[in-house]
Amino acid sequence: MKLLVGLGNPGNNYSSNRHNIGFRLVDYLHEKYAFPLWTNSTNYQYSKGPIADEQVILIKPSTFMNESGKGVLSASKFFKINCKDILIFHDDLNLSWGILKKKIGGGHGGHNGLRSVSNLVGQEYSRLRIGIGRPNNKKSVANYVLSGFTTGEESQIPNILDYAMSNITDLIYDESFIINGINIQSKNIL
């Protein structure tokens, strides 16, 4: 069994923020694969259902981003899932808009949600990094990740989610499959 984790901040006032792209991908998978309604648990929400005829658990930590590890740790213990069977979807400032990369293990790259997960669960989980770019002015990083997407970016998000979903089986089950620096803009889907 695999644990698919979307990172974000809980609450409607954060739902359209750049930092919540991980939540949006998990919500998209939840809808497209017709998973059961979300169940609330301590520090996370979850839904269990099949992808490619195997059961997976979708989770969204219910803590703020900086404490995401609490929800991931609770879910991994409850469902008895080890670190190597966790796939995390998250925003990444170090990737330009429209770039997706899969990474296995390694550091947190300054991402506070990943820092929390790594500190509590370990670093050997997989992740799908979703490029949101950096602010091109003197706007602070914190303000940037907590701001909404531009109208143009927002119109492209369904294509990003579709692209990730179309590769989800390989992302989850094929250890040799790597999305490595795919610029979805060059794939003519943005």
Domain of 145, CATH number, reads: 3.40.50.1470
CA atoms 103, 108, 69, 144: torsion sign = negative
Q: What strands lie across the sheet with 126-131, from one edge to the other? A: 39-41, 44-51, 54-61, 2-6, 86-92, 126-131, 99-104, 182-183
Between 24-28, 36-40, 52-56, 137-141, the lowest mean confidence (pLDDT) is in: 137-141
Write out the two tokens for 29. 């998978």
In-domain check, residue 104:
yes
* Structural domain range at position 33: 2-183
pLDDT of the residue at 178: 58
Q: Is 19 a catalytic residue?
A: yes
**Reduced to 3 DSSP states, what percent helix, strand and coil does the chain have, rounded to the nearest 5?**
40, 25, 35
Query: From CA 86, how far away is CA 40, in angstroms rounded?
Result: 19
16 falls within a domain? yes
Cβ atoms of residues 35 and 89 within 8 Å: no
52 inside domain:
yes
Q: Which of 134, 169, 158 is nearest to 50 (CA)?
A: 169
Residue 21 lies in a domain: yes
> Total domain count for the chain?
1
Note whether residue 189 is domain-resident: no
Residue 189 predicted with pLDDT over 90: no
Strands 2-6 and 54-61: parallel
pLDDT digits (tens, 9 = 90+) for 30-75: 999 999 999 999 999 999 999 988 899 999 999 999 999 999 999 9
In a domain, 190, yes or no: no
Examine residue 121 and state whether it is found in any structural domain, yes or no. yes
- The SS3 assignment for 152 reads helix
Q: Which of 19, 30, 90, 111 is catalytic?
A: 19
- Provide the Cα torsion 146, 112, 124, 122; round to 10°: -140
- The pTM for the full model equals 0.92
Do the domain assignments include residue 70? yes
Burial class (CB in 10 A: 0-12, 13-18, 19+), 6: buried
Work out the percent of the chain whose per-residue pLDDT is above 70.
Answer: 91
More confident residue, 173 or 114: 114
